Amino acid sequence: MENDEIRKDQVETLFSTRYISVYDLHYAAGKHYYDASRRKAEDLAAVKTDPEFREMRPDAVTCAVILKTEGKPDRLLLSYEYRYPVGRFVLSPPAGLIDPEDGSGEEALLSAARREIREETGIPVGAEDRVFVVSPLLFSTPGMTDESNALVCAVVTLPSEEILSQTGGSGSERFDGFVLANREEAMKLLQDGTDSRGIYYSVFTWAVLMFFVSGIPGKG
């Protein structure tokens, strides 16, 4: 049986830019597997020991934002964000990369979530709002990349929809409005497999929809 471990000296950098690199994982003699990653070669998931792997920090956070507004049922906040590889606006949850200044451990995930929610929705997550980690690390698609997201839930009080804003986007970020879905509407999105425009959405949109309708109790 072949050794499943990939050593650092088995990794060759094929292409590298500021934002993403492509590596060749020489997992056996004459065998090649390609990995697109945001990480440096020495920090790839493939070369980590088991203890390092268990302590690995995700690249980004995806946020299930549940809104509580007086007189209305709980609603899940989604937005239309332009996704360049898809070439159109896609129904998406707030999400973004974890920055070094977010700190370490679970607090880094919560800090990044609060920042991304504020930037992409205009909602300031207050001390009285509940923010907790649903899943500490989910791989996007281990067949092509080791990119990963933590899934964080924020249950926030929204006194008025006038607070909502998409002016905080930066760089390549482009937005085209919000969708505030109650549980019945979220179920329809899941059953249809597309948004109301007939456009497919990402697996992380599916994940926050499933979490919202599941009734799984959160932490705290």
Domains identified in the chain and CATH numbers: 8-54 (no CATH), 60-214 (3.90.79.10)
Tokens of residue 100, six digits = 């070094």
Tell the burial category of 159 from Cβ atoms under 10 Å away from its Cβ (0-12, 13-18, 19+): exposed
Task: Tell me the pTM.
Answer: 0.92
As a residue count, the chain comes to: 220
User: 44: Cβ–Cβ under 8 A, 6 or more apart, which residues?
Assistant: 11, 23, 35, 37, 146
pLDDT tens for residues 85-140?
999 999 999 999 999 999 999 999 999 999 999 999 999 999 999 999 999 999 99
Q: What is the pLDDT of residue 217?
A: 60
CB 140, CB 148: distance < 8 Å: yes
- What's the pLDDT tens digit per position in 51-70? 999 999 999 999 999 999 99
> Which backbone phi and psi does 8 adopt, to 5 degrees?
-60, -30
Closest to 94 measured CA to CA, from 153, 171, 160: 153
Instruction: Kindly state the DSSP code that residue 61 receives in the 8-state scheme.
Output: E
Cα–Cα nearest to 212, from 185, 193, 178, 174: 185
- How far is residue 147's CA from residue 106's CA, in Å, rounded to a whole number? 18
DSSP designation for 126 = -
In this structure, of 17-21, 27-31, 73-77, 124-128, the range with the lowest mean pLDDT score is 27-31
Segment 17-26 long-range contacts (CB within 8 Å, at least 24 positions apart): none
